[in-house]
Amino acid sequence: MRIGLGLEMGGSIDEIVARARVLASTGAVSLWSSQIFGWDTLTVLAAVGREVPGVELGTAVIPIHPRHPMMLAEQALTVQAASGGRLVLGIGLSHQVVVEGVWGYSFDKPARYMKEYLSVLVPLLHGEQVSFNGEVIRTNTFGPLDVVPTPPPPVLVAALGPTMLRLAGELADGTVTWMVGPATVEQHIVPAITAAASAAGRPAPQVVVTLPVCVTDDPDAARARADKIFAMYGQLPSYRAMLDREGAAGPAQVAVVGNEEEVTAQIRRLADGGATEFSGAVYGSPSEVARAQTLLGALATASN
């Protein structure tokens, strides 16, 4: 299983690039960033890709409602070219409270929206012409995009429920998850998306699992901090459903916490359950963060 690290988007662009350089030096094979309410993550990753060689750059994830699939295809191919082909494009639906409450878009039939979105995005990334007239997504005959031929980045869908996992298996290259524990990965995520990909005649899907990580000698305190830091995720319906499926009261119960040996064992359990990549969202004191980054880098190097 491949091992990556989360790349926070806080601070100045120069600070993010410097942070990426430090994280890449650990041996991690990939750096993953989310798009929330700050810098445009894809634009920042283009800058990172020009300055920090060797490491893959993933989005976990880019919300799709604010960007027409043609515009996202153009932006993703731009980052792919700027980074020398190291982008992994993770996309997702976000949440109703954001889509309707912040952006003012409809969240009606979200799976339909994702299916239509992928029907335009993926062909454009592959240099094809697209004409699509869906219920919510429309593109008149257009393409291929006027860019220097660029390998398409893998497209991962933030898929948790059965319908979204089926779409990810049929139309994308895999999934990237958050707040999903090991039992749910093994018994729900991996079987569902793998079956869908197989039925569609597609290659085995990527399953990128992202979770909070703290390497510590005080796991009780670390888990208590996790419940505070990540409390909002236990309240959002899609993540709450995955926590309930796992039998977890909150984020602390799915966080990867413990000393080096304990954290290694928890990550190996995810690999045994079918995850193809793990990305650690490291948190804790400066010494705990340093221990986690060192460990994850060493595990990444050992697995290469």
Question: What confidence tens digit (pLDDT) does each residue in 211-237 have?
Answer: 999 999 999 999 999 999 999 999 999
Name the phi and psi angles at 206, rounded to 5.
-75, 140
pLDDT class of 287 with cuts at 50, 70, 90:
very high
* Nearest-angstrom CA–CA distance, 160 and 267: 20
Topology of domain 2-303 in CATH is TIM Barrel (3.20.20)
pLDDT class of 42 with cuts at 50, 70, 90:
very high
Q: Under a CB-based contact definition with an 8 Å cutoff, are residues 46 and 73 in contact?
A: no
Cβ burial, residue 104 (10 Å; 0-12/13-18/19+): exposed
Residue with more model confidence, 146 or 287: 287
pLDDT class of 125 with cuts at 50, 70, 90:
very high
* Nearest-angstrom CA–CA distance, 100 and 51: 37
> Range with the lowest mean pLDDT among 20-29, 91-100, 161-170?
91-100
* Nearest-angstrom CA–CA distance, 211 and 200: 29
Q: What pLDDT does 103 receive?
A: 86
* Nearest-angstrom CA–CA distance, 129 and 142: 6
Q: Which two tokens stand for residue 97?
A: 């409270």
Q: Under a CB-based contact definition with an 8 Å cutoff, are residues 23 and 31 in contact?
A: yes
Q: Give the model confidence (pLDDT) of 78-99 as tens digits.
A: 999 999 999 999 999 998 888 8
Name the phi and psi angles at 43, rounded to 5.
-65, -45
Residue type at position 91 = I
Q: Give the model confidence (pLDDT) of 247-260 as tens digits.
A: 999 999 999 999 99
**Measured distance between the N- and C-terminal CA atoms of the chain, rounded to whole angstroms:** 9
Q: What is the DSSP string of 36-99?
A: SSSS-HHHHHHHHHHHS-SSEEEES-EESTTS-HHHHHHHHHHHHHHTTS-EEEEEE---HHHH
- Percentage of residues in the chain with pLDDT exceeding 70? 100
